[in-house]
Amino acid sequence: MIITLVIVLGLVIGSFLNVCIYRLQKNESISKPRSHCPNCKHQLKVWENIPVISYLLLRGKCSNCNIRISLIYPLVEILTALVFSIIYYFFGISIETLLLIIFFSIIIIITFIDIDVQLIPNNLLIISILPIIAFILINQSHSHLNHINGAVLLALLFLIIGYIGKLIYKVDSMGMGDVKYAGVIGLLLGWEKGILAFVIAFFSATAIIVIMSMYKKLSRKQRIPFGPFLSIGCFVAFFWGADILNWYLGFYR
């Protein structure tokens, strides 16, 4: 019963996150006006605004102008429900769960804004620090210094990578948004899991670039946002990082 409620909550909040993703990148209010079709401005009725179900009922099209609705909308809703379910599985009904729901909701917004416009808003990064600090103070699974070291190490690592990339390619290969985002992730994870998150992000990005290049979907000058891969690395390292590190270190024992 509780997991069903968690899934429903995730779908509903995922619908709200879609609004945030679309409007924040355009510097629009997330509360006004009501949800509407971006093409014809048709205001959505209640039955048109039910997470996932409305998309299926409308067959992925606006009921007024028949323009195609992006598949990203139901995907964000399903992804949010999945993330909430995993958080609940690990932490149950707790303050930690609430703080992680807030943090990873912000992460989802950051991820899809970066995919759309290759930008990581500073205000979202600042807001995301608040649930992290509260989580660290409540959970205390690592020393506070470990989290601070993680933030400094990851931010510095990305800053160095960006500097080297600029020397080699003569263009900014790593934006300051990525540097600051890496620092935020390092603050949550600490330095050990932070390095793991970086490795996961690097290899997942490399895999996507190789696949896109094979199918000629990527030009040499095309930039790939790194934020989404950092988000993947953060999520995997946070929940399964200890198991992965223990498995890896087991080869050297």
Looking at residue 251, its pLDDT comes to 73
Amino acid present at 103 = F
Which of 27, 60, 93 represents a domain boundary (last residue)?
A: 93
What is the residue range of 78's domain?
1-93
The reply to whether 35 and 124 lie within a common domain is no
The reply to whether 159 and 246 lie within a common domain is yes
Contact 14, 80 (CB under 8 A): yes
Looking at residue 131, its pLDDT comes to 97
Kindly report, residue by residue over 168-186, the tens digit of the pLDDT.
766 666 778 899 999 999 9
The reply to whether 12 and 135 lie within a common domain is no
Computed over its alpha carbons, how large is the radius of gyration of the chain? 19
The parts of the chain modelled with pLDDT lower than 70 are: 169-173, 218-222, 252-253
Instruction: Tell me the torsion sign for CA atoms 111, 113, 115, 121.
Output: negative
Whether the bond into 33 is cis, omega within 30 of 0 = yes
Contact 19, 72 (CB under 8 A): no
| Structure tokens, 93 | 């009904």
The DSSP code for 27 is T
The reply to whether 104 and 214 lie within a common domain is yes
pTM score: 0.92
DSSP structure string for 76-117: HHHHHHHHHHHHHHHH-SSHHHHHHHHHHHHHHHHHHHHHHH
CA dihedral 66, 67, 68, 72 (to 10 degrees): -120
Looking at residue 75, its pLDDT comes to 96
Which of 67, 93, 119 represents a domain boundary (last residue)?
A: 93
